[in-house]
Structure 1
Amino acid sequence: MDQKTIEKYLKGTISTREREDVMAWIEKEEKNKKEFLELRKLHDISIWNTEYIPDKKIKRHSTVNVLWRVAAVFLVLLSLGLSYLLVSDKESQMAVKTVTCPQGQRLELVLSDGTKVWLNSNSILSFQNNKKENTRIVELDGEAYFEVTPDKKNPFIVQTEMYDITVLGTSFNVFSYQKSGLFECSLIEGAVSLQDKSQTVDMRLQPNEKVRLSNGTLIRSSIDPDENFLWKVGIYSFKNQPLSDVFAHLSLLHEVSIELKNPQIGAQMCTGKFRNKDGIEHILLTLQKNYQFSFTKEEDTHTYIIY
């Protein structure tokens, strides 16, 4: 796989066709996956560590010189197998950074204010990487778990397709893949407020509460934090959820299409846990043993038909 294409994937500037090519290359062989993870590690370190270089040590460079220096450091690190990289391009700190977590993977990040973020499979996080700025705003397409560094003067805001979540310092989980019609926000510690884009909704959550969008209405319920966020260690856990919701989650996490032909199948309530690394077909076969349905796969469209 061409390294420039992988870099475009990591920066979030890749086309849909190129993204599919990268994903196919990663899944083809184990050595490809290891190579990709090493490149992603280098890329992420170059993002997260820029603001920790003291200003007095930063020298002014032209854009061309900076690019050549970064490229040279990357080559040295790749040849020696090192895992750390500091990039001192001060002018680039104002740029919006985008981090993409590939299908079947999970990614742990530390933002410039110390906030910890766990990204789930097929999730995208965008933010401004500048510690000196007072705003703490990130954009999420997918699922992420946040442990926010307290700062009463500067609230931390997570913007999603349908809702914005505002916090001061807390631990919470957000599930919001664009165009999926699904939204969930779960609070573990602290307090969060939830607003829609038209500002007609303003809901506050208490610890161990979850709000879920169902048929256009936000529904509040209690949660067991020990069970709800096992995805951080690669386990998909669900309790008393309609099978249709489970299929929808699996579709997003494994980047496949799942078509449910019989609504009665989707209405069945189910509880269970799966390891994401087992793959979509293993999960469907396991569910099939406990719930009455059959499925076929259309290879050309990566679509599973449930009937």
Structure 2
Amino acid sequence: MDQERHKTEWEERIRFVARYYRERTFDPEIGWKQFADKQNIRTRFRIPVWVWQVAAACLLLAGYGIYRMIGQQQPEWVVITADAGQGKEVFLPDSSQVSLAAFAELRYDAKRYGKENRQVELKGKAFYQVKHRKNLPFRVQTHLGNVVVLGTSFLVRELQNQMEVQVLQGRVRMEAGKKQPVLLEAGMSARYSETDEDLQVLQEADENCLSWKTGELVFRETPLSKVIHDIEVCYEVKLKELSGASDSLRLSASFKKKPVEEVLLVINQTLDTQLVIEKSKR
């Protein structure tokens, strides 16, 4: 009963206010001043409206400045990929040239490249011809290690657990795993294996390291296993030897932009092997 009585009284008060209230006829500041004078209440200093407006404007400007600063720090990635069966030639902002092999991916931060750094990230295989800038060295980053360029042209091949670097001109510094960085000069190569954390440096250059780019293969008393490997890399195929030929077989021959079927025909006739292309399983 008490709740119903209070509810009824409350509704009557609301109706009374609604009956006599007129919009904009009541000034809350004047009302508060009158009430405070009757009750002897000392009012605090009132901050002018323009002060609040200036403070709000400053807050907005500060927020916008922070937003711009964060936006400038965010990278602006440029991602370039090469499709299956074909490479891609890429010119970077500093005119350095990159030849991507099939399935390779290259990316760099357009905001910082050429200004704060010359760093690119690589997945797959690529050949680089780099413009020299002493104060801003060129760097290739893979998931296994880094290559810092001290010269002009080199090859980087990144696989799931292996990384290879071959230098054609100039010098590069290879950094991989926990191994000490190695300096590679023209004609040298290095291979790092994440599986056994092994870094091998080879003094002899691989003549076929750019066969995927040039379409040329050169074999000089080359073991059969190396011949098969180079053909697979050059033509992006998987080979199978049906006759079980020995790896003691050696091949001396050269091929310049020949179809893979013609290359296999010559090798099979020369070494009496049965190399065939494995069909991909779907």
**What TM-score results when the alignment is normalised by the length of structure 2?**
0.58
Q: Greater helix share, 1 or 2? A: 1
SS at match of 2:202: strand
Contact 1:247 1:258 in 2 (8 A): yes
Matched, 1:166 2:148: yes
Return the index of the structure with the highest Cα Rg. Answer: 2
Q: What are the superposed Cα offsets for residues 72-94 of structure 1, whole Å, 9 maximum, x if unpaired?
A: xxxxxxxxxxxxxxxxxxxx981
Is structure 2 residue 116 aligned with structure 1 residue 137?
no
Matches within 5 A, 1:210-249: 210-212=189-191, 216-223=198-205, 229=210, 231-249=212-230
Q: Aligned partners of 2:181, 2:249: CA distance in 1, in Å?
A: 32
Residues 220-261 of structure 1 deviation map (CA, whole Å, 9 limit, x = unaligned): 223387x76465433233445432233233334433323457
Instruction: Call closer, same or farther: CA 1:279–1:140 in 2, change over 3 Å.
Output: farther
- Aligned mates of 1:246, 1:213 — CA distance in 2: 22
CA offsets per residue over residues 125-177 of structure 1, 9 Å max, x none? 33333445422222333332211112223221223354421114422223x25
- Ranked by relative contact order (alpha carbons within 8 Å, sequence separation 6 or more), the top structure is 1
How far apart are residue 184 of structure 1 and its match?
A: 3.6
Residue 152 of structure 1, aligned match among 134, 142, 151: 134
Quickly say closer, same or farther: Cα 1:270–1:217, change in 2 above 3 A: farther
Unaligned runs of 5+ in 1: 1-91, 303-307
Shift of 1:178: 1.8
Report whether the alignment pairs 1:189 with 2:169: yes
Using the alignment, how far apart are the partners of 1:238 and 1:123 within structure 2?
Answer: 26
Deviations 1:28-58 (A, max 9, x none): xxxxxxxxxxxxxxxxxxxxxxxxxxxxxxx
Post-superposition Cα deviations, 1:76-135, rounded to whole Å, max 9, x if no partner, equal xxxxxxxxxxxxxxxx981231221431x3432211122111223443333333445422
Q: Distance in 1 between the 2:154 and 2:90 partners? A: 15
Per-residue CA shift, 1:162-220, capped at 9, x if unaligned?
4421114422223x2524x6654222332211111x23131101223233469955132
Matched positions, count: 207
Distance 2:143 2:234 in 1: 18
Distance 1:219 1:262, change over 3 A: farther
Q: How much identity, in percent, do the aligned residues show?
A: 24
List gaps (5 residues or longer) in structure 2. 1-73
Give the CA RMSD over aligned residues.
3.6
Preserved CA contact (<8 Å) 2:167 2:185:
yes
> 2:64 maps to which residue?
none
Is 2:182 the counterpart of 1:200? no
Residues 157 and 132 of structure 1: is their aligned pair in 2 closer, same or farther, counting only changes over 3 Å? closer
Task: Give the letter for the 1:170 counterpart.
Answer: T
